[in-house]
Structure 1
Amino acid sequence: MAVVRRKCFISYHHADQREVDQFIRDFDHEADTFIARGLGNEMPGEVVQSASTDYVMRRIRELYLSNSTVTLLMLGRCTWARRYVDWELQASLRQGETISPNGLLGIKLPSYPEQGGYFPKRFNDNLRGEGQADCYARHMKYPTSTQSLVTAIEAAFQRRQTHTHLIVNPRERMHNNRQC
């Protein structure tokens, strides 16, 4: 049975560019595990620059998110502190009559701290909290095999249909980056 390659929007902090590029080379270019969408060296696309937050959000949705079904949040040491990551997560979780949310999977990069690491607040809102039986988002350590990544991406894709009622996305957008 052939594996379906899902189109995945890659959200990350640019300080982790080298690790993200390696991840894309290993799992998209060489292993054909998924199709990378987004902004970065290993992904085709224009950088959206504007002082208008609404314009940037709209262009990210139009150019990258509308053509993807799963958002891969690449977790590095300071990912939690970046406003663009928050904006991309907010857009990924958006839903409506004509808009389906993306599945959401966090992947800890090799440089992610073993202890003391933080997740972006919007991502954390969508993980299982105290007293909750289930949640929308999932996270994993850096994949050690193509199959583990394929399984996790497919599970995130399926949750778009089965778990949208668990999406938590009321938080205001971050206005500024935080100090890491």
Structure 2
Amino acid sequence: MGDRHKIFVSYHHANDQYYRDMFEDILSQSDISVIRSVQIGDIDDGNLSDERIRQIVRDQYLRDPTVTIVLIGRDTWKRKHVDWEIGSSIRNTAKNPRAGLLGILLPTHPDYNRDLFTPGLIPPRLYDNQQSGYAKIYDWSENPALIKKWIHDAFEVRHKVNPNNSRSSFRRNHSGESWC
């Protein structure tokens, strides 16, 4: 488990930046990974088409991660960019081999620290892959050794189980209480 994985972190920028920053600090305590994510202001989404934004994310940010981690807060399931990042990271293309996938329920999520989670409060594409066995969902931890194990397990699964990328991509952010 000594591999140095390249991690892409997908999250709800407005709500969960604090946990994204804390997560990077936790991982920096060991040799686990190189972390990337799209930060607020990195892409001018006001002047670009959705397809162009997806292409930029795929070609510049998801070029070579070995595992994508979705930090799941209360409203993460609503975000089109989270959906696009998951979909792009589990596609296997000549330029971008698919990454492993896992989700981490943040303390802000209503199902944090419960035995079960509500499917409609998890990003739908992540839920599909949790159901297929391609991804796992864990509760937030500040234990670098435990997180390292999760990352390694997701890395190992990526060529053993086929991901489910059959959903149509979000065209816009969603609203409401849940997606199902």
Distance 1:97 1:20, change over 3 A: closer
Which residue identity lines up with residue 63 of structure 1 in the other structure? Q
Deviation string 1:9-50 (CA, Å, 9 cap, x unpaired) is 00000111111111111223x334321111237xxx933534
Gaps of 5+ in 2: none
Q: Which of 68, 71, 77 is residue 68 of structure 2 equivalent to?
A: 71
Q: Which of 88, 96, 110 is residue 91 of structure 1 equivalent to?
A: 88
Deviation string 1:118-143 (CA, Å, 9 cap, x unpaired) is 10111111112xxxxx6111111112
SS of equivalent residue, structure 2 residue 86: helix
User: Which TM-score applies when normalising by structure 2?
Assistant: 0.84
Deviation at residue 73 of structure 1 after TM alignment: 0.3
Per the alignment, residue 168 of structure 2 pairs with 172
Deviation at residue 176 of structure 1 after TM alignment: 1.2
Aligned mates of 2:108, 2:32 — CA distance in 1? 22
Per the alignment, residue 22 of structure 2 pairs with 22
Per the alignment, residue 139 of structure 2 pairs with 141
Aligned mates of 1:24, 1:47 — CA distance in 2? 21
Per the alignment, residue 125 of structure 2 pairs with 122
4+ aligned runs moved over 3 Å, structure 1: 96-99
RMSD: 2.1
Per the alignment, residue 100 of structure 2 pairs with 103
Q: Between the two proteins, what is the percent identity of the paired residues?
A: 32
